[in-house]
């Protein structure tokens, strides 16, 4: 049975390392893996999506509506935007950070209020946390990705050591400790 | 070693393993990484050419000289390179020559969603199409053999989902075939009528051989399952078909999409009750099947537009799609925007303020067309801004000359803006051309070009002097402005529009995302002075918003360019 993880956020937030870590780990576990994203507009603050699929044999590189076991979101509005992709029994892991999109910046629209509550009301299991504060506690605002991976790891039937080993193998040596700390704070 | 690899990177690995020696390309999403990754192998000479036509001719020259060669481009790039393509189909090759064309169904980063298979058919050149990274690697290697065996360039067609997906590949060693010495052969390589007339029958005979080859080649395969439904498909569509139907249908997967097999398709059709064709964009396999006299389902149920997905196929074939939850609320969109500190912003603000008609071009600066700047009124293809303003001004004369500009980026200018500028110089329209020189090819992710002074590896290279180039064409009025200086931009734009001769304005400042660009400290809002007039908001900078009636600067985004502070009459920024 293929499992599906969607990683969503705002261009420039660093979802690349998250999908790299996940892909690396799952490949080592012996799964067939596909990781898919769209390049091109990602540097320009647009909405960005990465699909990670794994299982015995994975065909489609993308995740469709109603298929995601997990949606890992770097930003609250982006989690809500992709809610329709969640499986009925899927789970959203979301950083509660708010980044205003252009229609909000220009005043044409308001940043929607109570998004976590609204997603829960729609029937989604939502695990919301302030990953930015935890990342800063770990030593860098850029470690939001590892905080999110730490939280996601709680829902995976896989020993913690394997995740930590994957961090060692995917992150430059001088950032390993900081990223492990961010991972631990997310997993706590 | 098994590893997870991007489709484009796997393609580059295939070039490496096949002993490819020369690569020349022009960047274009989603094809760019093939060449960027190839450039990481020291054994391969790689370069960014000024445009795709040049790139293909370079690759042709290298294969003529006897070394395996490659050029890569996006779908619209193949239009630019169509001229050499259609005739090197006649000449054939010496060593193998492989061309990558990457289509973009769904237009993630393109101006149209043309189907490149038409070019392969029209040029009578074989085209193969991988469906994942492992095939991208394998097909790249096989393509060189096919190129040499059949004496033809070979096109490998990628699409966004194959190019930009990572899947598992197994790598091998590089094997460089013996070079094929160049031999003078005027009848084969000089395509003047007397010779081309003799080459055309060769092309037709080659196509006949390729059709027979397609019946039993490593690219096409049959996967028999339930025989109530047979599906013929290719590329990423194959993956969606497998996802939806599994063993519930029989599949003919076509890795070679031009020319298409005949016997293989007829045999497959005879083994199934019903036949369906699943292909994105145009009904090319479908029309081929119909021409073979087969009854098929295809574009009668599937769309011609956009990408497919597993749910789309399921729905169109009457299979249950997963249920999903909905928020039932209109959420604000998050479109791409010009980055904070983008040097294009100040210039577009000036053009918007002066209510200038802007004929635009292809690049990051096409975002000048979106709110709140709304300062671009046409974008067609690479270089069209300059050619079109000439036509616009010839049509309207004085009515438009003093209030219309063309804007074009530095890389796009070198790609195909120069020839349009030559037309203005030659046929003398009073046109104002603005070159947005941010010293990089921005949209495709920072590639060097002939104006930057660096090559694909980042080493010093030839650097074309833009001002001298314009002067050599005969332009007397060439102005250089700093787009961070709004007053200067305003003065120069007004003066050059008013001038009664053609002029070039160079808006010069490097892209704010370049690593060597030093940023100032983020700006601060003096809340005692800010009255929330929103003058600064006219720029559409993502680092500025209004909260509780006052401007707020996002210090993680602001690079201190200071353009907004020039708009604040109260000195609050």
- Walk me through the domains of chain A, giving residue ranges and CATH numbers: 3-187 (3.40.920.10)
Q: How confident is the model at residue A41 (pLDDT cuts 50, 70, 90)?
A: low
Tokens of B95: 């060593």
Produce one character per residue of A64-77: b if its CB has 16 or more CB atoms within 10 Å, e if not: bbbbbbbbbbbbbb
* Same domain, residue pair B245 and B155: no
Token look-up 């006649």 returns: B90
Query: Is 70 exceeded by the pLDDT of residue A42?
Result: no
Q: Tell whether B42 and B170 lie within a shared domain.
A: yes
Residue B48 is predicted with a pLDDT of 98
- With H, G, I as helix, E, B as strand and everything else as coil, classify residue B416: helix
In terms of domains, do B353 and B456 share one? yes
Tokens representing residue B17 in the block: 């393993």
Instruction: Answer yes or no: is B460 within a domain.
Output: yes
Q: Among the three residues B214, B248, B269, which one is the final residue of a domain in this structure?
A: B214
B485 by Cβ neighbours in 10 Å (0-12 / 13-18 / 19+) ranks as middle
Asked if residue B225 and residue B210 are part of one domain, the reply reads: no
Any domain includes B568: yes
Tokens for A98? 């708010």
What is the domain range of residue B434? 344-508
Domain count within chain B: 4
- Inform me whether the C-beta atom of residue A159 falls under 8 Å from chain B C-beta atoms: no
B179 versus A161: which is more confidently predicted? A161
Whether chain B has a CB inside 8 Å of the CB on A76: the answer is no
* Strand B256-258 relative to strand B127-128, pairing: antiparallel
Residue carrying structure tokens 């000439």? B390
Q: Which two tokens stand for residue A25?
A: 């780990």
Give the end of a domain, one of B508, B540, B564.
B508
Q: Is there a single domain that holds both residue B548 and residue B469?
A: no
Q: Which residues contact B226 (CB under 8 A, 6 or more apart)?
A: B247, B248, B249, B250
B428/B569 same-domain check: no
Task: Check residue A60 and give its pLDDT.
Answer: 98
**CA distances (Å), origin B406, targets B51, B399, B471:** 20, 16, 18
The answer to whether residue B187 is domain-embedded is yes
Q: What is d(CA B323, CA B53) in angstroms, rounded to the nearest whole number?
A: 48
Q: At what angle do helices A131-138 and A144-153 cross, to 10 degrees?
A: 110
Distance CA B542, CA B555 (A): 11
User: Which residues face B537 on adjacent strands?
Assistant: none
Q: B35 and B152: one domain?
A: yes
Q: Would the CB atoms of A105 and B328 count as touching at under 8 Å?
A: no
Mean pLDDT for A19-45 is: 86
Query: Would residue B391 count as lying in a domain?
Result: yes
pLDDT in tens, chain B (573 residues): 789 999 999 999 999 999 999 999 999 999 999 999 999 999 999 999 999 999 999 999 999 999 999 999 999 999 999 999 999 999 999 999 999 999 999 999 999 999 999 999 999 999 999 999 999 999 999 999 999 999 999 999 999 999 999 999 999 999 999 989 999 999 999 999 999 999 999 999 999 999 999 999 999 999 999 999 999 999 999 999 999 999 999 999 999 999 999 999 999 999 999 999 999 999 999 999 999 999 999 999 999 999 999 999 999 999 999 999 999 899 999 988 899 999 999 999 999 999 999 999 999 999 999 988 999 999 999 999 999 999 999 999 999 999 999 999 999 999 999 999 999 999 999 999 999 999 999 989 899 999 999 999 999 999 999 999 999 999 999 999 999 999 999 999 999 999 999 999 999 999 999 999 999 999 999 999 999 999 999 999 999 988 889 999 988 889 999 999 999 999 999
- The answer as to whether B528 is a domain residue is yes
The per-residue b/e assignment along B331-356, b for 16 or more CB within 10 angstroms, e otherwise, is bbebbbbbbbbbbbbbbbbbbbbeeb
Q: Which of B327, B544, B557 to mutate to test the interface with A (most CBs of A within 10 A)?
A: B327
Check CB contact under 8 Å for A107 and B534. yes
| In B75-162, beta strands by DSSP E | 97-103, 127-128, 154-159
Residues of A in contact with B2 (CB under 8 A): 27
Token pair for residue A24?
Answer: 């690396």
For residues B202 and B219, give the distance between their C-alpha atoms in angstroms, rounded to a whole number: 23
Among partner residues B327, B372, B444, which is closest to A119 by beta-carbon distance?
B327
pLDDT of residue A43: 61
| Cα distance between residue B520 and residue B508, in whole Å | 18
Nearest CA in chain B to A75: B334
**How many angstroms separate the CA atoms of B551 and B537, rounded?**
9
How far is it, in rounded angstroms, from Cα B34 to Cα B53? 18
Is residue B412 a part of any domain in this protein?
yes
Residues B92, B108, single domain; the answer is yes
Minimal CA–CA distance to A30: which of A55, A53, A51, A62? A55
Which residue in A23, A60, A107 is closest to B310 by CB distance?
A: A60
Q: Chain A contact for B131, CB < 8 A?
A: no
- Judge whether B335 lies within some domain: no
Nearest residue to B542 (alpha-carbon basis) of B550, B532, B553, B551: B553
CB contact under 8 A, A106 and B335: no
Nearest to B332 among A34, A36, A101 (CB): A101
Both B464 and B543 in one domain: the answer is no
pTM for the model stands at 0.97
Residue B174 lies in a domain: yes
pLDDT in the model for residue A39 = 64
Q: Judge whether residue A40 has pLDDT over 80.
A: no
User: In whole angstroms, what is the distance from residue A17 CA to residue B380 CA?
Assistant: 36
ipTM of the complex: 0.96
Complete DSSP assignment for B33-85: HHHHHHTT-TTSEEEE-SSHHHHHHHHHHHHHTTS-EEEEEEHHHHHHTHHHH
Cα separation, B164 vs B152, whole angstroms: 28
Does A122 lie at the interface with B, CB-CB under 8 angstroms? Answer: yes
Q: Where among B214, B236, B257 does a domain terminate? A: B214
Q: What is the CATH number of the domain that holds B312?
A: 3.40.50.920
Nearest to B168 by CA among B9, B3, B6, B10: B3
**Residue B484 belongs to domain with CATH number:** 3.40.50.970
- What is the C-alpha to C-alpha distance for residues B379 and B369, in angstroms, rounded to an integer? 9
The contacts of residue B489 (CB under 8 Å, 6+ apart) are: B346, B347, B350, B481, B482, B483, B507
Of B109, B329, B544, which is closest to A40 when you measure between CB atoms? B109
Residue B3, chain A, CB below 8 Å: the answer is: yes
Of the candidates B33, B161, B336, the beta carbon closest to that of A41 is on: B336
* Same domain, yes or no: B168 and B59: yes
Minimum Cα–Cα distance from B339: chain A residue: A44
Give CA separation, A73 vs A3, A13, A67, A98, in Å.
17, 10, 16, 11
Long-range contacts, stretch A155-162, CB < 8 angstroms, 24+ apart: A155/A70, A155/A91, A155/A93, A158/A25, A158/A29, A160/A187, A162/A25, A162/A28, A162/A29
Compute the distance between CA of residue B23 and CA of residue B406 in angstroms, rounded to an integer: 33
- CA nearest neighbour of B45 among B25, B74, B73, B75: B25
User: Which of A126-140, A161-175, B322-336, B372-386 comes out lowest in average pLDDT?
Assistant: B322-336
Helices then strands (H, E): number in chain B?
21, 20
Distance from CA of residue B510 to its chain's centroid?
22
Of B67, B56, B71, residue with least CA distance to B95 = B67
Do B27 and B151 lie in a common domain?
yes
Residue B413: the pLDDT is: 98
Check which CATH number belongs to the domain holding B551 and give it. Answer: 3.30.70.20
CA distance to B115, B253, B272, B296, B317, per residue, from B300 (Å): 18, 20, 20, 9, 11
Domain identity same for B231 and B206: no
Give me the residues of B, 305-334, that contact A with CB < 8 A.
309-312, 321-329, 331-334
Q: Record the tokens describing residue B270, joined without a space.
A: 């005879």
Establish whether the linkage from the previous residue to B80 is cis, with ω within 30° of 0. no
Q: For residues A35 and B121, what is the distance between their CA atoms, to the nearest angstrom? A: 32
């Amino acid at each position: 049975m293929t499992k599906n993880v969607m990683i969503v956020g705002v261009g420039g937030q660093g979802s690349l390392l998250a999908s790299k870590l996940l892909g690396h780990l799952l490949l080592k576990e012996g799964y067939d893996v596909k990781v898919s994203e769209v390049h091109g507009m990602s540097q320009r603050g647009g909405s960005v999506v990465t699909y990670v699929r794994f299982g015995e044999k994975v065909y489609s590189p993308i995740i469709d509506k109603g298929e995601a076991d997990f949606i890992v979101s770097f930003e609250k509005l982006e989690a809500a935007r992709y809610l329709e992709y969640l499986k009925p029994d899927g789970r959203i892991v979301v950083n509660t950070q708010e980044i205003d999109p252009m229609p909000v910046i220009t005043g044409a629209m308001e940043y929607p209020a109570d998004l976590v509550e609204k997603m829960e009301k729609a029937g989604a299991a939502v695990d919301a946390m302030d990953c930015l504060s935890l990342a800063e506690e770990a030593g860098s605002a850029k470690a939001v990705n590892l905080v999110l991976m730490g939280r996601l790891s709680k829902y995976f039937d896989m020993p913690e050591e394997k995740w930590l080993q994957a961090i060692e193998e995917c992150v430059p040596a001088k950032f390993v400790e900081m990223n492990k700390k961010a991972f631990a704070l997310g997993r706590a | 070693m098994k590893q997870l690899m991007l489709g484009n990177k796997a393609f580059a690995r295939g070039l490496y393993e096949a002993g490819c020696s020369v690569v020349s390309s022009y960047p274009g999403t989603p094809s760019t990484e093939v060449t960027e990754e190839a450039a990481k192998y020291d054994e391969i000479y790689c370069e960014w050419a000024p445009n795709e036509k040049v790139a293909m001719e370079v690759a042709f020259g290298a294969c003529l000289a006897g070394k395996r060669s490659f050029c890569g481009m996006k779908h619209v790039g193949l239009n630019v390179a169509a001229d050499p393509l259609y005739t090197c189909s006649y000449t054939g090759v010496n060593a193998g020559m492989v061309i990558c064309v990457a289509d973009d169904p769904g237009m993630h980063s393109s101006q149209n969603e043309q189907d490149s298979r038409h070019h392969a058919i029209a040029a009578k050149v074989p085209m193969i199409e991988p469906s994942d990274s492992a095939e991208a690697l394998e097909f790249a290697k096989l393509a060189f053999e096919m190129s040499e065996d059949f004496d033809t360039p070979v096109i490998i067609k990628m699409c966004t989902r194959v190019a930009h997906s990572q899947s598992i590949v197994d790598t091998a060693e590089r094997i460089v075939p013996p070079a094929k010495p160049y031999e003078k052969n005027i009848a084969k390589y000089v395509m003047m009528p007397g010779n081309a007339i003799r080459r055309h029958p060769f092309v037709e005979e080659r196509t006949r051989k390729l059709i027979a080859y397609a019946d039993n080649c490593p690219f096409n395969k049959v996967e028999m399952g339930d025989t109530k439904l047979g599906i013929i498909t290719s590329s990423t569509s194959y993956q969606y078909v497998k996802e939806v139907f599994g063993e519930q249908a029989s599949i003919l997967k076509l890795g070679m999409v031009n020319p298409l097999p005949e016997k293989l398709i007829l045999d497959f059709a005879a083994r199934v009750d019903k036949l369906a064709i699943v292909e994105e964009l145009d009904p090319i396999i479908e029309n081929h099947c119909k021409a073979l006299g087969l009854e098929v389902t295809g574009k009668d149920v599937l769309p011609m537009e956009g990408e497919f997905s597993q749910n789309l196929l399921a729905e169109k074939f009457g299979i249950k799609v997963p249920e999903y939850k909905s928020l039932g609320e209109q959420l604000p969109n998050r479109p791409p925007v010009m980055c904070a500190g983008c040097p294009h912003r100040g210039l577009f603000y000036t053009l918007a303020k002066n209510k200038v008609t802007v004929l635009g071009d292809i690049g990051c600066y096409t975002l000048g067309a979106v709110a709140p700047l709304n300062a671009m009124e046409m974008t067609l293809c690479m270089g069209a801004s300059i050619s079109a303003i000439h036509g616009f001004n010839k049509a309207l004369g004085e009515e438009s000359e003093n209030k219309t500009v063309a804007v074009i980026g530095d890389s796009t200018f070198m790609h195909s803006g120069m020839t349009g500028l030559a037309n203005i110089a030659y046929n003398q329209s009073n046109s104002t051309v603005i070159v947005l020189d941010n010293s990089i090819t921005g949209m495709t992710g920072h590639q060097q070009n002939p104006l930057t002074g660096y090559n694909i590896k980042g080493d010093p290279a030839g650097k074309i002097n833009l001002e001298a180039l314009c002067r050599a064409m005969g332009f007397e009025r060439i102005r250089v402005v700093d787009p961070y200086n709004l007053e200067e931009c305003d003065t120069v734009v007004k003066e050059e529009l008013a001038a009664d001769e053609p002029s070039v304005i160079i808006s010069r400042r490097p892209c704010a995302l370049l690593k060597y660009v030093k940023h100032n400290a983020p700006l601060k809002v003096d809340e005692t002075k800010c009255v929330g007039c929103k003058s600064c908001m006219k720029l559409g900078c993502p680092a500025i918003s209004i909260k509780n009636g006052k401007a707020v600067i996002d210090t993680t985004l602001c690079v201190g360019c200071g353009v907004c502070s020039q708009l604040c009459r109260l000195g609050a920024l």
